[in-house]
Amino acid sequence: MSNTDVVITGIGATTPLGPDVTSTWDGLLAGRSGVRALEADWAEAYDLPVRIGATLAEEPTEKIPRVRARRLDRCEQVALIAAWQAWEDAGYSLPSDDGEDVEPERLGVSIGTGIGGPVTLLEQDDNLEQHGMRKVSPLTVPMLMPNGPAAHVGIELRARAGVHSPASACASGAEGIAKAYDMIRSGRADVVVAGGAEACIHPITIAGFAQARTVSTRNDDPERASRPFDVDRDGFVLGEGAGVMVLESAAHAEARGARVYGKVAGTGITSDAYHITGNHPDGIGQIAAMRQAIEQAGVTTRDVGHVNAHATSTVVGDVGEAAAIQKALGDHPVVTAPKSALGHLVGGAGAVEGIATLLAIYHGVVPMTLNLGELDPKVELDVVAGEPRKMELSAAISNSFGFGGHNTALLFTSA
Amino acid sequence: MADKTELLTGLAEIVEEVAGVAKDDVTAEKSFVDDLDIDSLSMVEIAVQAEDRFGVKIPDDELANLKTVGDAVDYVAANSK
């Protein structure tokens, strides 16, 4: 390993499949679905066409004490929980009066979110309308701001090398990790806590996505609603959750004898400059992102044995990505679409799926895509279905694309 | 004038609700900032709840002078209707 290598020493997550990485990974391998009928009374009250969502397996307040939780938007809560887990998994303790495990000036944070805290904004607007300005919480702005999740993690872990919060819709979590990789490679930090978070399942987001005709309305069969690459797919399922990784320079990790899961070997970030929600029809940005990651990693397309697809289960998006993967890499990569089980965690998606990609290499097994009854004939890829596929992997790519035309590809390799 | 023991009890309940400080620790001589570790944002919330509960106005420039729990109890006792 060279000094500019960036390794992963800790991982954490809270998702619709489970309150930590182990339960989430086990859920993916077992073929469990995190999609459920929404129990909130608003689903019926607003006559929404969508009554399903991938809600968290465990309420964040199980882990965050009441008084602290009321100062945090739900998006900030899930980021903090995932960060705690990743930090502990890396073998670090929380800073105390006695000092820190990582020099604060060498520790950074890069945690993205797609939307941030719209639920806080709406709740406080209700307070304003119904009770007047005195009842608006003084924490309104710090709870709704999209840099809130990253900022809280930075304060918690005492990170002074810069706290960043990429906002690139559904690519935010992946871009969080890409930014962290750059921070370490450029010498700005030795350790960066990176990932993404989202928690905005609310009538306004559901209504907005539904009006854009991007979400599944398979309300009578929640667990089968998210079906990427299947001929009968009809949109994504909105989810919530967070994923966080501890990235370290190889030298820093080696000096302390840390356990290493693998490397972030390359990243690709491009933008379509085409349409605010639609992907470029020729997939130019997606293809370029995958190629950039390969080039930066110094591997060949043959080395990339697996792609963890962005595949959200939309009619147009999935076939576009399938064609882009083929053009960028060829027919050989084994593909899976974890949103079939997790739903779409928006800003959390790229980070949680990055963790799944890393674990596929680490454990030598690719989880299956759920609900793949009949592969869309336009998808000419080897998509894992039915059961997990055991295979030795040296390199794999995780794709994440977002509204706005953002394309991020993360290339992970074994340690 | 309201009974100061009752005011202290009521104020302690608000402080516990907003800032998570145990009610029994909220005693007259304690400083909100130095002893109870309450930040300026939580002080605003505590003041709003105290205004509603005790029927009193606490303007911002008065709030800044309420350093201890006892200061707050005295202010409310003197100004509530």
pLDDT reported for residue A41: 86
Neighboring chain A residues of B45 at a CB cutoff of 8 Å: 137-138
In CATH, what number is assigned to the domain containing residue B35?
A: 1.10.1200.10
CA distance A139 to A292: 41
Q: Which two tokens stand for residue A70?
A: 């009321």
Residue type, A338: P
Q: Residue A138 and residue B41: Cβ atoms within 8 Å?
A: yes
Which residues, at least 6 apart from A227, have a Cβ–Cβ distance to it below 8 Å?
A233, A313, A340, A370, A371, A372, A373
Range of the domain at B72: 4-79
**Nearest residue, CB atoms, A137 vs list B19, B20, B45:** B45
Task: Dump the DSSP string for A126-180.
Answer: HHHHHH-GGGS-TTHHHHHSTTHHHHHHHHHHT--S-EE----GGGHHHHHHHHH
Burial class (CB in 10 A: 0-12, 13-18, 19+), A41: exposed
Which residues, at least 6 apart from A32, have a Cβ–Cβ distance to it below 8 Å?
A17, A341
ipTM of the complex: 0.87
DSSP designation for A223? G
The residues of A annotated with a catalytic role in the active site are: 170, 310, 344
Q: Residue A138 and residue B18: Cβ atoms within 8 Å?
A: no
Q: What are the DSSP E strand ranges found in A139-294? A: 163-164, 191-198, 241-249, 262-271
- A281-323: per-residue pLDDT in tens? 999 999 999 999 999 999 999 999 999 999 999 999 999 999 9
CA distance A166 to A127: 30
Neighboring chain A residues of B44 at a CB cutoff of 8 Å: 138
pLDDT at B64 over 70: yes
CA distance A112 to A79: 9
A320-347 per-residue burial string, b: 16 or more CB within 10 A, e: under 16: bbbbbbbebbeeebbbbbbbbbbbbbbb
Confidence band (pLDDT; 50, 70, 90) for B81? confident
Residue of A nearest to B22 (CA): A67
- Rg over alpha carbons for chain A, rounded to the nearest Å, is 20
pLDDT reported for residue A2: 60
Q: Residues of chain A whose pLDDT is less than 50?
A: none
CA distance A139 to A70: 9
Burial class (CB in 10 A: 0-12, 13-18, 19+), B73: buried
Instruction: Report which of A321, A267, A273, A319 is spatially closest to residue A295, judged by C-alpha positions.
Output: A267
Q: Residue A66 and residue B20: Cβ atoms within 8 Å?
A: yes
Q: Residue A134 and residue B19: Cβ atoms within 8 Å?
A: no
Split into its structural domains, chain B has a count of: 1
Which residues, at least 6 apart from A160, have a Cβ–Cβ distance to it below 8 Å?
A104, A105, A107
Number of A to B CB contacts under 8 A, please give it.
15
Q: Which two tokens stand for residue B34?
A: 């130095």
**Closest CA–CA distance from residue A66 to any residue of chain B (Å):** 8
- A138-194: per-residue pLDDT in tens? 999 999 999 999 999 999 999 999 999 999 999 999 999 999 999 999 999 999 999
DSSP designation for A304? E
Give, in degrees to the nearest 5, the angle at Cα A11 between A226 and A77: 70
pLDDT at B1 over 80: no
Q: Residue A67 and residue B20: Cβ atoms within 8 Å?
A: yes
pLDDT reported for residue A1: 55
Neighboring chain B residues of A65 at a CB cutoff of 8 Å: 20
Q: Residue B48 and residue A66: Cβ atoms within 8 Å?
A: no
A-facing residues of B in 21-80 (CB < 8 A) are: 41, 44-45, 48, 51
**Closest CA–CA distance from residue A174 to any residue of chain B (Å):** 33
Neighboring chain A residues of B25 at a CB cutoff of 8 Å: none
CA distance A20 to A244: 11
* Phi, psi for B21 (deg, rounded to 5): -85, 130
Q: Among B23, B37, B42, pick the best mutation site for testing chain A contact (most A Cβ within 10 A).
A: B42
Are B21 and B38 contacting, i.e. CB atoms less than 8 angstroms apart?
yes
Interface of A with B (CB under 8 A): 65-68, 71, 134-135, 137-139
pTM for the full predicted model: 0.96
